[in-house]
Structure 1
Amino acid sequence: MRKTNAEIAAEVRERICLNGGAGEILLHEGQLATEFGVSRTPIRQVLQMLAYENLVETRSGIGTIATPLDPGKMEADFRAFAAILTACGKCPTDQEHVAGQVLDRLRDARRFLDRSAGPDSALIRALSAYLEATVWLVGDHILATALRSAYWRQVRWGLHPDRPKLDDRFVIFRDRLDDCVALAEAGDPAPLLAKLTELPVSHMTGLAPQG
């Protein structure tokens, strides 16, 4: 069965994040089209989706590449992420109850994390499910869009080869997910969004500044 654009985007996103910024990734439209058995049109749409998340960029004479991580901007990237996360926490959706989709995504995140053995596809899927649950509860579209971009950039920093190992962060992430699932089951969106956007989310993915 032909993969959807969202499924193709998820696979390409995983590759970029798991590369950890260690070397340039060149994304050839033709090669991706052949790999996924689609025309170039959906591949262009996928790359545009990833461009909105600041995961890819187009360079004249080169093509589409994974947006490089600049070590000199890591601390600034973290501060931007923290500011956006805080702003999202202050702009909740006006829904009165936690939607079933939010609870489902948090449970998905917990299951994916249990299957993860390190920096792998299962971990990226857990982080993706966590992000989708958070975005669902943010009431401002512009903030939600900014969060996606900042979030994936910080995930890439968290998986960078120069970062600490993931063992302790897995424990923190599991505890966070357990708390979020319980809050989602309770049904009140406000405390759930507050927990989802707490700054220590950075620590669960290893994103806090070092030192």
Structure 2
Amino acid sequence: MYRAVGHQAEILKAIRTKICLANPREALWLKETALAEEYGVSRTPIRHILQLLANAQLLHTQTGLGTQTTVLELNELPKHFEIYGAICDIAIGVANEERAPRETILALMSVHNTLLIDEDRSPEAFIDVYGRIIDAMSQMITDPILCYAHQAAFWRLIRWRVQEVTAEVEGSWGLAASNIQSAIDAATQGTERDLLEISGRMGRSHIDRLINYYKVN
């Protein structure tokens, strides 16, 4: 999804984390000059990274004003989850009836091991864990347009979920551990299609929790 490599990829990941940590219902303004100074690079790579994030609908550029996070409307939250589920259904429909790639299985096991060893339960760690999960899942989606849509829809859901994670630490991380174990089971015992079905369930299972959370926050 993101055509950034090396140091630029790390900067993109850091800025994406900033976006996910911000309240999705409020605009966070990002200034090229400030970001370039923060990460010790020129404005050119920052501009490229912001464009990539804008292509994924995480950012929105207003002429003459600058770049801000895309504001999400609460009444569209259920639709965002439905869209992610629909994209997963398409991916399932065209997936191979073969075992998941070895790289995907190893990546998921690595995430699982991280949860067992690392006690960090911060929102930043949550974003990193799910970023690694979606990267692993995306290895099975060979169509570039479908893969791009899958990742973009996923990151929109993460923006909704991070706020809840801050308030419901134990429950959110417990659900993450359960999701990862289900994904590993599907990857090692089933097919690519089975694993993508788990990915779809990960999205659909959070709708009611999030709606209840945002009703009082």
> What TM-score results when the alignment is normalised by the length of structure 1?
0.83
8 A contact 2:33–2:43 mirrored in 1: yes
Q: Does 1:156 align with 2:148?
A: no
8 A contact 2:99–2:192 mirrored in 1: yes
Q: Which has the larger displacement, 119-128 or 99-108?
A: 99-108
Match of 1:100 in 2: 102
- Any unmatched runs of 5+ in structure 1? none
8 A contact 1:109–1:130 mirrored in 2: yes
Q: Does 1:65 align with 2:74?
A: no
Counterpart of 1:165 in structure 2: which amino acid? Answer: E
Q: Which has the larger displacement, 79-88 or 124-133?
A: 79-88
Using the TM superposition, give the Cα deviation of residue 113 of structure 1 relative to its aligned residue in structure 2, in angstroms: 4.0
Match of 1:210 in 2: 211
Flag the 1:37–1:93 CA change in 2: closer, same or farther, 3 A.
Answer: farther
Match of 1:179 in 2: 182
Using the TM superposition, give the Cα deviation of residue 101 of structure 1 relative to its aligned residue in structure 2, in angstroms: 2.4
Match of 1:24 in 2: 27
- Any unmatched runs of 5+ in structure 2? 1-5, 213-217
Q: Does 1:110 align with 2:74?
A: no
Counterpart of 1:40 in structure 2: which amino acid? Answer: R
Match of 1:142 in 2: 145
Flag the 1:135–1:30 CA change in 2: closer, same or farther, 3 A.
Answer: same
RMSD (CA atoms):
2.7
Q: Which has the higher helix share?
A: 2
Flag the 1:110–1:162 CA change in 2: closer, same or farther, 3 A.
Answer: closer
8 A contact 2:96–2:191 mirrored in 1: no
Deviations 1:115-157 (A, max 9, x none): 3654521110111011111111113221111111111111111
Using the TM superposition, give the Cα deviation of residue 66 of structure 1 relative to its aligned residue in structure 2, in angstroms: 0.9
Distance in 2 between residues matched to 1:113 and 1:19, nearest whole Å: 24
Deviations 1:65-96 (A, max 9, x none): 111111222222222122112212222258x5
Match of 1:9 in 2: 12
Deviations 1:13-43 (A, max 9, x none): 1111112326421111111111111111111
Tell me the SS of whatever aligns to 1:137.
coil
Distance in 2 between residues matched to 1:116 and 1:19, nearest whole Å: 23
Distance in 1 between residues matched to 2:129 and 2:19, nearest whole Å: 16
8 A contact 2:138–2:147 mirrored in 1: yes
Q: 2:39 aligns with which of 25, 36, 40?
A: 36
Q: Does 1:52 align with 2:52?
A: no
Distance in 2 between residues matched to 1:191 and 1:174, nearest whole Å: 18
Distance in 1 between residues matched to 2:40 and 2:19, nearest whole Å: 20
Q: Does 1:126 align with 2:129?
A: yes
Distance in 1 between residues matched to 2:173 and 2:192, nearest whole Å: 25
